[in-house]
Amino acid sequence: MRQTKKRVTIHDIAAASGFTASTVSRALQNDERISDATRIIIESLATQMNYRSNAVASSLRTGKSKMIGVVIPLFNRTFFASIIGGIETVMKQAGYSVMICQSNDDYESEKAAISALMRARVDGIAISVAAQTENFDHIQLLENEQIPFILFDRTHEEMEVHQVMIDDFKGAKDATLHLIEQGCRKIAYFAGVQHLTTQKNRTLGYKAALAEKGIGFDDNLMIISHLKEGSGDNAVNILYDKGIEFDAIFAASDYSAVAAMRNLQKRGVEIPKSVAIVGFSDEPFTALVTPALSTVNQHTHLMGQTVATLFMNLFQNEVDPKLMNKIILEPELIIRASSLKKQHF
């Protein structure tokens, strides 16, 4: 049977020092009303006795947990890992902890995660919605319960809520324009599920670029999938099976792009000479494949920092919580060998 040793509380320090618990509490919080002399006594006693304040009790009393929750679809993308890195950087400085939950792109898991975070009484929740989420009642619930929350990257633009996203439209448009400038005209587009705002906007960007250059949109060239590792491979097979000609691929995911590249290389297709390729996300391995993959960098670390900063502003009432904050970051097209038909280094 595990014998849990009783942890030391402010009452123990109070007893040891001869002061009251309130004085101890104040001293440890650097309350100015406590004299330096007793503060020093109490502080040294606290260290000596190995005191560690109980965040649970404090949280119950103050109603603040100094913790925010983050719900992301999956860890296994550098994309989300990097965003969380950005969030943590800012939050840690402000003395906050970050609790992370994965939805695995599943609606029920997302609901469960949000529910767990609410039960844990986090001070705020940041959410990047799951691919399967098409119902936003659980988000509405946060609104009703007046829990500060921010949607990031995969948002729900129709809702009047705080959100931080990148300009997917521009990212996709720039990528497509770049391919057109390289002389491509039949640009296959490997798209993600279209109920995600990010994916929808990328599609609009792709189409806008074509329209701007007077190229008609060809339905056959757009292949929708979940953009997992296997789907790029699959998409190329579909194009070949259907006998659809293409001289470029713009994939809304780096994994999909690299898988497509491999498929083409196996078929003896030269890249970028016969088919130019651009991905999306700037995953670190894109610089390591051959040829190096052109892609769209989403400034993920900055996005995370932006989310965190917005939280801090909300917590400090520096912004009107009623006033929706919609922050849109600029993506950056990274041009590498996979799409460079004209110039060479």
Partner DNA sequence: TTACGTTATGCAATCGTTAGCATAACCATA
Partner DNA sequence: TATGGTTATGCTAACGATTGCATAACGTAA
Which positions lie near its own copies, rule CB under 8 A?
1-5, 7, 52-57, 59-60, 63, 65, 67, 74-76, 78, 80-82, 84-85, 88, 92, 97-102, 104, 112, 115-121, 145-146, 229, 255, 258-259, 261-262, 265, 283-285, 287-290, 317, 321
Amino acid at 69: G
**Least gap, CB of 220 to DNA (angstroms):** 57
Q: Is 135 in the site for DNA (CB under 7 A)?
A: no
**Least gap, CB of 253 to its own copies (angstroms):** 12
Residues in the interface with DNA (CB under 7 A) total 29
47 vs 76 by CB, closer to its own copies:
76
Q: Is 15 in the site for DNA (CB under 7 A)?
A: no
Cα-based distances in Å from 94 to 152, 279, 309: 20, 36, 10
35 vs 140 by CB, closer to its own copies:
140
CB 106 within 8 A of CB 128: no
The rounded distance, in Å, linking the Cα atoms of 157 and 138 is: 16
Q: Is 22 in the site for DNA (CB under 7 A)?
A: yes
283 binds, among its own copies, DNA, none (CB under 5 to 8 A by kind): its own copies
* 238: exposed, middle or buried (Cβ count in 10 Å: 0-12, 13-18, 19+): middle
Q: Is 242 in the site for DNA (CB under 7 A)?
A: no
**Least gap, CB of 108 to its own copies (angstroms):** 11
**Least gap, CB of 234 to its own copies (angstroms):** 14
**Strand 248-251 to 326-329 pairing:** unpaired
> Sign of dihedral through CA atoms 232, 237, 242, 244?
positive
Concatenated DSSP letters of 47-69: HHTT----HHHHHHHHS--SEEE
Residue 97 has which token pair? 């902890």
Residue 299 region by backbone torsions, left for phi larger than 0, else alpha for psi between -120 and 50, else beta:
left
**Least gap, CB of 327 to DNA (angstroms):** 31
20 vs 89 by CB, closer to DNA:
20
- Which of the 8 DSSP states describes residue 341? S
22 binds, among DNA, its own copies, none (CB under 5 to 8 A by kind): DNA
The rounded distance, in Å, linking the Cα atoms of 99 and 254 is: 28
Backbone angles phi, psi at 321, to 5 degrees: -65, -20
CB 120 within 8 A of CB 99: yes
Segment contacting DNA by CB under 7 A, of 23-31, 170-178, 297-305, 318-326: 23-31
Q: Which residues have a Cβ under 8 Å from the Cβ of 208 and sit 6 or more positions away? A: 169, 173
329 binds, among DNA, its own copies, none (CB under 5 to 8 A by kind): none
Nearest to 240 by CA among 264, 218, 274: 264
What number of residues does the chain have? 345
* 266: exposed, middle or buried (Cβ count in 10 Å: 0-12, 13-18, 19+): exposed
Q: Is 48 in the site for DNA (CB under 7 A)?
A: no
95 vs 243 by CB, closer to its own copies:
95
Nearest to 117 by CA among 59, 71, 63: 71
Segment contacting DNA by CB under 7 A, of 5-13, 122-130, 146-154, 177-185: 5-13
**Least gap, CB of 138 to DNA (angstroms):** 20
Q: Is 46 in the site for DNA (CB under 7 A)?
A: no
317 binds, among DNA, its own copies, none (CB under 5 to 8 A by kind): its own copies
35 vs 237 by CB, closer to DNA:
35
Interface residues with DNA (CB under 7 A) are: 6-7, 9-11, 18-23, 25-26, 28-29, 33-35, 37-38, 51, 53-54, 57-58, 60-63
